[in-house]
Structure 1
Amino acid sequence: MINTRMRHTCAVFALLVVSGCGAPMTGTPLPGEMDVRTLDVGQYSTEPLDSYEEFQHSVRSGTALAISRLANHVVTGNDIDAKLRYGTGVQQLAKPEDVKNVLAEQSVPVAARNKMLFGFASGSSDFRPEPFVEVPSDSTLTTVAVMQFPDSQSADRAATEFEETDFSVSPDQNERVQLAKYPMAHSHWRPGTPTIGSVVAHGSYVVSTFISTSQPVLADLTALIEKVYAAQLPMLDTLAPLSAEQALRLDLDPEGIIRRVLNPGKLAVPDPGGLAAYELQGFLHFQTDRIASKILYADSERFVFSDAYSPTTNSYTKGVAQSFGKGTDRFLQGAILIRTRGIDSAKALWLAILDAPDAKQAPSNVPDSKCTELPTDKYVKDWVCAVRYRSYVGYVWSTQLQDAQQRAAAQYAVLANSQ
C-alpha cells in the first residue's frame, strides 16, 4: 500500500492543466549571468548530484533503472485508440510478487518459477480519472503489462502458465478465445461480461492485456486486444532485452541529466517515480491527459523525476489492476526537470505551462520563473513553480509557497552550477 502520509490521496498532477540557516553555495557565474549565490534557496543544495553523492550499483537499483528503460517502450492508451487518452495509473513490477497487481494472485508462483526479471504496467481509459470517483461502468479501460524474462523459452512457458492459472480461477465460466491476427496469444473471456484477458510471449517479453468495455460484445473486445498487440509488439522489437547482469550494470545517469534535477533528499538511488529519466513515451504514462501532454511536450527530449510520483497505484478492487482509475499519485515535495531540443523550445514550453500564474508569487530575483496555486482539496494548499534555464525547464512544488519559491531558486542554481 502507498504511504498516504507522504502525499495527497487525491492528487493527480497533470502538468499541462496546472498547465506549481541557508546552505553554503559554490560556483562562479558565467559572463552575462546572475550570481546564483545571492538567491534565497533555504536549506536546499545548489550543486549537481554527482558532486556530493556517488551512485552504487545494486540489484535493486538495476531493476529500477531497467523498469524505467522498459516504460519508454510500453504503449499508452492513445497508441491503441485515440479515445483512450487518459492515464489511469501505473504499476512497477520489481519482483515476482508484484505480478498480483496486474494478474490473478495465483500468477505469482508462475512469475517466480520462470524467473521474471522486471516489468511495467500502464492503465488507460476514455474517462478522465477524478479523485475518489469510480470509473463509470460504460467506460473503456485497458491495462497493459510488459514483463521481461531471461529468454524466449521462459517467456513462452510463463505466458502459457499465466493463461492456465487465470483461466482455472473460474474454469466453468471462462471460455477460450482465438485471436485471428495473433493466434499465438492466449485469451479468454466470460460470456456475458464486457471483459477479456489475453497474454502473449514475444521474444523474452510477455505482454498481458486486460480490456473492459461498456458492452459484452466479443468482436469489439477482440478487436481492441488486437490493437494493443499491433501497437505494443513492434515497440518491443526496438528494445534489446537485458540479462540480470546487464541490468545490474546499468548506470544511473549516462546522459548527465539526472545530476541537474533538484534533489532535496540528496539520494542517488533510482526509482521509477522517485529518481529516473524518461523519454517522452515513458513520461506520458504518468500524465492524466496523454494526448494533450504529447502535444505540449513534443519538443522535449528527456524528463527527469526527483521524488515526483508513486509508481504504484491503488485499484478500486483489491489486487486487480484492471480496476485502475485514480490516475498516478504525486508526492508532496517533488521536482521534474525537462530537457528540450533547444533554447527556443524551452522558452515556448515555459510560456505554455502553468495556468494564470501570480506575478507576486514568483521567487525573488530568479529569471524566467513563475508560480501558481494548485487546485487541491479544502484541507491542503499546494503551489507549483516553474523555472527555465537555457534549454531546461523545471517544475517544483510544495505545500508552502515560500518553500516552493526556495525550491525554484535552488533548481535554477543547480542548473547554473551544472555547466
Structure 2
Amino acid sequence: MNGQAVRPKPDLSGLEVGNYPTEPIHVGTAGDKEAARYREGERLGDFVVLPFEADPAYSRMVVGTGGPVVLNRKDMQSLVINDTFDEVAADLTAGWVHTWATEDHPTTAQEMSIAVLMFPDAPTAERVAAGLEHDDFTFNTDNRPVQLPEYPYAKAHWRPGVASLGSWTNHDRYVVFVKFDDNSNKTDLPDMVRRTESLLDLQMPLLDKFEPTPADQLENIELDPDGILSLALPKSEEVAAALGPSSAFRGRGALHFIGLSSLEFLDKGEVSAIALAETVVIRSRSTQGAEALWELLRPDETTDSQPIAAPTGIDGGVECFRRKVEEHQRPSSFCVLRTGKYFTHVEGAQIQDLHQKTAAQYALLAR
C-alpha cells in the first residue's frame, strides 16, 4: 500500500500549561487604516536590506533610532532633523527603518541607517525625495550637495569636515533614505559615497521583488497570511500596548526583534514564516530545516547561560537555560524547543511559569 507515514498525534493530557492557551487564536484582518498601514510596513520590512549584507562589519543593531515601522515623523526619530517630514510625506503609506553599527566603541563606531518609504505612485515618491532632501539640505547652511555617480537622480548632501552623508533616492513608488555616520570623523567623502552606493545596489533589486497591497484592499490586509501567529502564544494587551503588536515575517524583518546579525538561519533553516509574539515561532519547510535551526540557534558552551531543568512530555527537543546575572541585571530564563517543522524560543523569569509557557507552546504546535 502506497502513502506517506502519518505522524501519530501526541498525548497532550499530561502537560502542565497553567492558564496559557493551547488552541490557536486567529487574528484575521487589520480592520482599520492604522493597523493596515502598520502591517504593510512589516511586509515591507522583509525587503529592506540589512547593512551587514553590504559590509559584515555592521554587526550591531542600534536601538532607539526609529521604527522599525514608519508611519510618521516620530518613527524616524533623530535620523530626520527637519520638522517638515509629515507635511512633505503626507501621502506615506508605510515604511521601515533601522540602523546598524560596527562593534567599535560608540564614540568611534561607524553607523549605517536605511529607511524605505512607500507611496501611492512613482511621481509622488519623486516629489517627496526632492522635498525631504531640500529641507534636510537647507536645515544647515554649511551643507553641500553630493553626487552619487551610480545614482545620478539621488539627492545627497554632507557638511565638509563632518564624516556624515545623507541621501534620498526615489525608486518607483519608494523613497530610500541612507545615512552614514562615522563617529570617529575619519571617513572621507569618496568612501562615504561608496558605502552609500553599495547599500543602494542591494536595496533596489529587493524592492523590485516586493508586491505592495493594492490601495483598495489595504484595510482588509491579512495580519497572519501564513497562519504562523495563530501558533504562537499571544502577547498580553499590556505588552502589546507598550511594545507593539504581535508580528509575522518571512525573513529580514524579524531580525530587528530576535537579536541575530546574520541571515544564515533563513537559508540553512529553510525558513518559511516567523511569528514574534509572546513566544518566537519559526516554521521551516522541512523537519531537516527545523533541525538545522536547532543547531544554529540553541545556546552552546560559549554563551552566558547555564542549563536548567526542562519541562517533560515534549516530543522533539527542548532545553532550558538561565542567563548568568551580572550586577544590576534581573534574572531571566528561556527555553528552546524543536518539534516537527518548528523551532521556538520561550522567555520566562520564573521556572514554573517558563515550563508552563513552553508546554503550552508545544501543545499549540503539536495539535
| 1:264–1:45 CA distance, 2 compared to 1 (3 A) | farther
The 1:348–1:152 alpha-carbon spacing in structure 2 relative to 1, beyond 3 Å, is closer
Change in 2 beyond 3 A, CA 1:152/1:54: closer
- In the TM superposition, residue 355 of structure 1 has moved relative to its aligned partner by 3.2
Letter of the structure 1 residue corresponding to residue 294 of structure 2: W
**Alignment of 1:35 onto 2:11:** yes
Aligned residue for 2:84, secondary structure, equals: helix
Letter of the 2:223 counterpart: L
| The one of 145, 170, 179 aligned to 1:210 | 179
What is the Cα deviation at residue 234 of structure 1? 1.2
Map 1:16-415 onto structure 2 (within 5 A).
32-50=8-26, 55=29, 57-89=31-63, 91=67, 92-113=69-90, 115-127=91-103, 135-137=106-108, 139-171=109-141, 173-213=142-182, 214=184, 215-265=186-236, 274-291=245-262, 294=265, 298-306=269-277, 334-352=278-296, 353-355=298-300, 360-367=308-315, 368-378=317-327, 379-415=329-365
Cα deviation 1:16-62 (Å, max 9, x = unaligned): xxxxxxxxxxxxxx974432122111110100012xx6555211221
Change (3 A) 1:359 1:221: closer
Does the CA contact (< 8 Å) of 2:29 and 2:221 recur in 1?
no
- Compared with structure 1, are the counterparts of its residues 44 and 287 closer, same or farther at alpha carbon in structure 2 (3 Å cutoff)? closer
Instruction: State how far apart, in whole Å, the 2-side matches of 1:33 and 1:407 are.
Output: 20
Higher RCO structure, 1 or 2 (CA under 8 Å, sep 6+): 1
- TM-superposed CA distance for 1:303, in Å, is 1.2
Q: Distance in 2 between matches of 1:41 and 1:402?
A: 10
Count of residues in Structure 1 that have an aligned counterpart in Structure 2 = 350
Partner of 2:3: none
Gaps of 5+ in 1: 1-29, 129-133, 307-333
- Contact persistence 1:300–1:338 (CA under 8 A): yes
How many Å separate the matches in 1 of 2:11 and 2:20?
17
Q: Quick one: distance in 2 between partners of 1:86 and 1:416?
A: 35
- Code of the residue aligned with 1:383 in structure 2: it is S
RMSD over equivalenced CA pairs, Å: 2.7
Partner SS, residue 83 of structure 2: helix
The question of whether the paired residues in 1 share the 8 Å contact of 2:82 and 2:135 is answered with no
Cα distance in 1, alignment partners of residues 50 and 80 from structure 2: 19
Matched residue type, 2:162: T
Query: TM-score normalized by structure 2?
Result: 0.87
Structure 2 CA distance for aligned equivalents of residues 212 and 112 of structure 1? 24
Contact 1:77 1:87 in 2 (8 A): no
Q: 1:296 to 1:126 in 2, by over 3 A?
A: farther
Question: What percentage of residue pairs aligned between the two structures are identical?
Answer: 27
The question of whether the paired residues in 2 share the 8 Å contact of 1:143 and 1:211 is answered with yes
Q: Distance in 1 between matches of 2:268 and 2:255?
A: 10
In 2, are the aligned partners of 1:77 and 1:124 still within 8 Å (CA)? yes
* Cα separation, 2, equivalents of 1:296 and 1:235: 17
Which segment drifts farther, 277-286 or 140-149?
Answer: 277-286
Instruction: Report which stretch shifted further, 53-62 or 390-399.
Output: 53-62
CA distance in 1: counterparts of 2:55 and 2:49, whole angstroms: 11
The letter of the residue matching 1:201 is N
Shift of 1:97: 4.4
